[in-house]
Structure 1
């Protein structure tokens, strides 16, 4: 179910991955940009409540296009604010001009669903793995303080 969040300006998007699904994050990956251009990537590792390491980089537009294709696959997937229904131990949030989605959103239909289809869990895990791979591949420079 889409969130009631204002869409980003004219074609911009954000994709954010946070691990683990609950509790204090150990790391986050954030990609911000426009679908037809390169995008900025930021990977932050945490030690307790403080940042312990932050890397940044640029993702080429071909990889941005692939990322947008991947996250669009999540359209219509159920979500739950209280349970990691995909069992991937990760939160994925994306915000485009067309759709805002998070696997942590309130979704009344998710309460009715007792078991998420294996294919959806597999697709979600594949997308999480892809976002993590993009972070490793492109966020290599230490962030400016």
Structure 2
């Protein structure tokens, strides 16, 4: 009951300030003040203030907020620990699989590829220079625009 009375008084005072502001020919500001001052009385009329007052004075509601806070804290703690460890179990397993060396050494199959001696890695043939191809595309674009 006290909360409803306070909200009504705040709304009445706000509407009075809006009237004084409108008297001074500041209609836009007066309209904004009137809108803000109607919010508390609207909340009283919809029952939100009564619900908030009951919630604020309820021990069960505060215990519920405490349980929600504890759940949030536990959730965030697990996220921090997970990040420090380097991800989830599946991610760590995939990382170990990727880091494990192959069963066959890369140089073991070199003789079957035709390289006779040593463990030199196979060299790739030199690829043709792509510079001419790039410039021909540019020249075609320039010719298209008449440059």
Task: Normalising by structure 2, report the TM-score.
Answer: 0.22
Greater RCO structure (CA 8 Å; 6+ sep): 1
Task: Normalising by structure 1, report the TM-score.
Answer: 0.23
Specify the structure having the higher radius of gyration (Cα).
2
